[in-house]
Amino acid sequence: MDSYYSKEVMHHQWILSNRRGSYAMGFGDLINDRKYDGLLIASDDNLKRTHLVYGAEEEVEWRGNKFFLDSNSYSNCIYPDGYEYIIKTWLRPYPSFLFSSNPANEEILILKEIMMDENENITLVKYSNIGSHPMHISVKPKLTMVEHHTLNSPGSLDNKSFSVKAGKNGFTVLREDNGAKLYGCCDEHFTMKEEKIIYRNIFFSKESSRGYDYFADVISLFSFEFEIFPNESRFILYSDFEIENIPYTIKKIQKRYSKYSLPKDHPLRSKSFNVRKISDKDENLFEYSEYMKILNLAMEDFILDDNIIAGFPWFSAWGRDTFISMEAMFYMKNKENRIKRIFKKYGESIKGGFLPNTFGEGGEGMNYDSADSPLWFIIRMNDYEKMQKVSHTLKKHIDYAQKIILDFINRKDTQIIMDEDALLLIKEGPLALTWMDAKIFDTPVTGRFGKPVEINALWYSAIMSFIEM
């Protein structure tokens, strides 16, 4: 990879997600720099997310020569040097990485693509030989299998027990101390074997700069090997359950992205692709109409069936984030039913004038400690009604708004009340009710006690929105 281009794409981040809140994410050079980066971080029904797959060691052999596609960051080096063999990266509509030998050789061209199932916790990695020479590829998945906010500290995997079961098309792995499960499989014409390798002291610079733990171990327990001939592709799937119909699943995942145009210089877009004409400059990659569809897809990455995760990867679905970001949904196609489901989900959960600021956050239960979430909720309901230009406001939306406003006006025994001047007053107490919600030992770091300006601006806007409704 060209030095300038390498330094540029290392800052480009990509994300894939599904309707359950699962995700895959990383950087343009495929070097994981956050503990959240990986190929599969799987969410359950309570939005509890488990980091399952960090990446994979990928070794390519041709004519007796070998090189790697992957790279790990260590405190004193990057090894292997797979990022040096990337000659172009495309991050939309899904991440694609074109590799070649160093220097680039038209005989050796490998396209790696990453996609995710829309509804199930499945990540697809596709390897395509678009060169003119057969290659042998060995893939050793690097596993984490830990809660996604945490790391496997150095040495911690040495004595952990993993149950590995080989099947016809892949392996099922159970981490016995926490119950995390992973299924990895390959599509066809491959060999596999069980082998244990621990990659030690991987360094995450983004975590170091934020003051978090930043060294971790990851583990490989099995490997796949396959030959890949020119104009052929091989697929590896990662999931938290055993996939029964692999060909159907591959077809379904690829179909999810097939309606979106590929970048103009992508090798699968043009039959006359020439590696020597690839430009480092990511300019004019799409026509305007194509780009608008890509923007729509970018918004889709943050939307669940009945909620929004605006804070990937740190947060799950938060009420405040949901209604601040919801405005972007108004411009999407086929969004009406999903917007109504979100309003209904939160409206039916109103309690004492408050909305849940979190719906469980991994099974911890609802959190009613946000003064601004219900106010944003009212404002967005009115915004939606105006944009839809409906002849009458949905009665249940009026009922939701009325309940919130009356509770704010009438409550006297809570930490936030309406004062005599009709402004909202936050009294001293254990709750951090604004966006500055950090707490230490259950004490707000910045309590914002008194009459915070943004809360009262939202209070005024919510009342005016209710009047308009």
Encode pLDDT of 415-467 as tens digits. 989 999 999 998 988 888 888 878 788 888 888 899 999 999 999 999 999 99
Q: Are 16 and 25 in contact (CB under 8 A)?
A: yes
Q: Model confidence at 168, in pLDDT bands (50, 70, 90)? A: confident
E strand segments, 353-410 = 358-359, 366-367
Average pLDDT, the chain: 91
Find the range with the poorest average confidence among 66-75, 199-208, 389-398: 389-398
Neighbour-count burial of 341, counting CB atoms closer than 10 A to its CB (0-12 exposed, 13-18 middle, 19+ buried): middle
Residue 171 pairs with which residues in a beta bridge?
166, 184
Q: What is the mean pLDDT of residues 198-208?
A: 97
Give CA–CA dist 295/316, Å, rounded: 21
* Cα 137 from Cα 127, distance rounded (Å): 9
pTM: 0.92
pLDDT of residue 272: 77
The two tokens of residue 415 are 């930490």
- 43 and 361 Cβ atoms separated by less than 8 Å: no
Structure tokens at 183: 């299924």
Sign for the CA dihedral angle at 36, 40, 42, 47 comes to positive
3-class DSSP assignment, residue 303: strand
Region 184-203: what's the mean pLDDT? 94
**What is the CATH architecture of 302-468?**
Alpha/alpha barrel (1.50)
**Closest to 140 (Cα-Cα) out of 223, 71, 53:** 223
In this prediction, residues 265-282 reach a mean pLDDT of 82
Give the residue from 214, 209, 223 showing the smallest Cα distance to 152.
214
pLDDT at 364: 63
Pick 449 or 53 by higher pLDDT: 53
Look at residue 289 in the predicted model and tell me its pLDDT. 93
pLDDT at 11: 85
Please say whether the beta carbons of 404 and 350 come within 8 A: yes
Percent of the chain with pLDDT over 90: 68
pLDDT band at 406 (very low <50, low <70, confident <90, very high): very high
Q: Assign 189 a pLDDT band (cuts: 50, 70, 90).
A: confident
Residue 334 has pLDDT above 80, yes or no: no
Looking at domain 3-287, does it have CATH number 2.20.28?
A: no
> What tokens does 280 get?
């480092």
Q: What pLDDT is stored for residue 115 in this prediction?
A: 98
Q: CA gyration radius for the chain?
A: 25
pLDDT at 392 over 70: no
pLDDT-based confidence at residue 5 (cuts at 50, 70, 90): low
Residue in the block written with tokens 């309901």: 381
Alpha carbon distance 94, 75 (integer Å): 30
What are the boundaries of each domain within the chain? 3-287, 302-468
What DSSP line would sit under 328-352, residue for residue? GGGGSTT-HHHHHHHHHHHHTT-BT
pLDDT per residue over 86-128, tens digit each? 999 999 999 999 999 877 788 899 999 999 999 999 999 999 9
Could you tell me which residue, 456 or 360, shows the higher pLDDT?
456
Q: What is the pLDDT of residues 170-181, one digit of tens each?
A: 999 999 999 999
Query: Where do the H-state alpha helices sit in 138-270?
Result: 205-209, 246-258
The predicted model gives 274-290 an average pLDDT of 84
| pLDDT at residue 359, as a whole number | 76
Least confident of 233-247, 351-365, 392-406: 351-365
Least trusted range by pLDDT, from 7-21, 77-91, 328-342, 357-371: 357-371
pLDDT at 1: 58
Q: Which two tokens stand for residue 215?
A: 């060294």
Give the bridge partners for 57, in sequence order.
140
Strands 122-129 and 233-239: antiparallel
How far is 450 from 361, CA to CA, in rounded Å? 29
- The helix (H) or strand (E) run that includes residue 463 is helix 453-468
423: nearest Cα among 409, 412, 435: 409
Q: Give ∠ CA 39-44-49 in degrees, rounded to 5.
A: 50
Q: Average pLDDT, stretch 195-202?
A: 97
pLDDT at 92 (0 to 100) = 94
Q: Which residue has the higher pLDDT, 271 or 258?
A: 258
Rounded average pLDDT over 365-388: 89
Residue 2 has pLDDT above 80, yes or no: no
